Homo-oligomer: A and B are copies of this chain.
């Protein structure tokens, strides 16, 4: 068999049975081989950033990698921003980037470029097999790398002749490296810190943010008085009624500093030491308070939940976590605002849903309004590269079949990767997209004043303004084949959301809220 078929067979045998694809000529043998491997589902994206963001969303929900299929360096470039987010999320993923035939590179054909250096930005494992027989081996290694904790974007650059050449055979799955157990002495040291009586913060991130980790962390906090916080932008946070509540470290450094103020111990559980998202004139980037000792309970490659449970059993033996009661806000009425959109969401959120949150400033009220809703997963923008929401919702719906997906989407961010809606329609995915239409890059209005530019002129202001013309998200959505409604009042929002959640398949609601700039 040819390299392409052995590649797909190897991926499927290793449990990678979904490929988000935007192929070109150099990938045609891969495409032709898709039908030879019945287990492999191929999902077409109209833009590579949709494919990579969808693979990230899939991985976060399925806890296993999808493949992507991208067209040479330019296709990888188009997918780079969402690969960056996936890297920050530690999402397992196998990128397959088609390349010219090995012997063709010397002609510097129009699409020739240095794929590997771009790939290394998002994946430390980059391999370019030179022969058909090397392709399947590389694929098996890629899956093992991708699925070893904490999860990695592995990139396989596939020369066209390695893809079309014969003589390849599939390679059996390679076991990933298991998560490491945290040694008892580390747990004991951290136990001393959290039990010291001094102000202690337990900052949980990554793999610690599943229900079992949150239960253990909550027990630790209750027994010791330590404050448990979540990282600012989790890849996947489990929450809702029945799951211990978790405050997250604030995005704005000023607020994060207040949360951390006076701490003498900071315990990191698969989380990084707090630093501000951006640098600002005359403000510190490092948010760890002076005199605060930093303890690492679990690195990203460790069994973070196991470590939290071991710590809880030491400092809070026999206790149970405190769980939030079910509660919902009332459905909103009157003029629509970002806050009342959140109320509608809280009033109607279905059981066991997945929220993909790229609502930026408009999403401020959404976590609070849904804290007592049925248990759900909350996926956020881990890497700061906007344009992840719609692709991620697409992939999350593929990776969590049967679960409704709700995408909270800022209007500016929505315009990055809007093409994802078409894939949602094609695959009949149960995604409800709520666009917060405030007609502005509101976060930049905030940031413009934070960086010290307090009196912007008309040209500066125009760079934050999404009017002239207004974007019509109903038309844009319907143009991609996704039915859409506009809501300008709480009543309209509630009715639109109720309809969208009750009707299978994708929907979009254009939630028109007051302009921010």
Establish whether residues A113 and B84, one from each chain, have CB atoms under 8 Å apart when the complex forms: yes
Chain B CB within 10 Å, residue with most, of A28, A107, A471:
A28
Asked if A285 meets B104 with Cβ closer than 8 Å, knowing A28-B444, A278-B160, A456-B31, the reply is yes
* Cα distance, A107 to B479, chains bound together (Å): 42
A338 to B: closest C-beta gap in Å: 20
* Cα distance, A457 to B277, chains bound together (Å): 48
Establish whether residues B110 and A460, one from each chain, have CB atoms under 8 Å apart when the complex forms: no
Contact of A479 among B25, B26, B475 (CB under 8 A): B475
Number of interface residues of A (CB under 8 A): 99
Q: Which residues of B contact A46 (CB under 8 A)?
A: 412, 415-416, 466
Establish whether residues A276 and B109, one from each chain, have CB atoms under 8 Å apart when the complex forms: yes
Q: Which residues of B contact A279 (CB under 8 A)?
A: 26, 100-101, 103-104, 160-161
User: Who on chain B is nearest to A232 by CB?
Assistant: B110
**Interface status of A400 (Cβ within 8 A of chain B):** no
Which A residues, 79 to 138, have Cβ-Cβ distances below 8 Å to chain B?
Answer: 80-81, 84, 88, 100-101, 103-104, 107-111, 113-114, 117-118, 120-121
User: Who on chain B is nearest to A452 by CB?
Assistant: B164
Establish whether residues A462 and B101, one from each chain, have CB atoms under 8 Å apart when the complex forms: no
**Interface status of A334 (Cβ within 8 A of chain B):** no
Establish whether residues B453 and A29, one from each chain, have CB atoms under 8 Å apart when the complex forms: yes
Establish whether residues A110 and B49, one from each chain, have CB atoms under 8 Å apart when the complex forms: no
Establish whether residues A272 and B35, one from each chain, have CB atoms under 8 Å apart when the complex forms: no
* Cα distance, A466 to B45, chains bound together (Å): 10
Contact of A385 among B29, B74, B448, B475 (CB under 8 A): B74
Establish whether residues B80 and A453, one from each chain, have CB atoms under 8 Å apart when the complex forms: no
Establish whether residues A74 and B84, one from each chain, have CB atoms under 8 Å apart when the complex forms: yes
**Interface status of A258 (Cβ within 8 A of chain B):** no
User: Who on chain B is nearest to A453 by CB?
Assistant: B32
Residue contacts A-B, CB under 8 angstroms, 18 given: A25-B443, A26-B279, A28-B448, A32-B451, A42-B459, A44-B465, A46-B415, A77-B78, A77-B84, A78-B78, A107-B276, A107-B285, A108-B272, A108-B275, A110-B277, A110-B382, A111-B384, A118-B121
With A77-B81, A109-B276, A111-B277 given, name 9 new contacts (CB 8 A): A31-B464, A32-B456, A34-B460, A73-B80, A104-B278, A109-B285, A117-B117, A160-B279, A479-B479
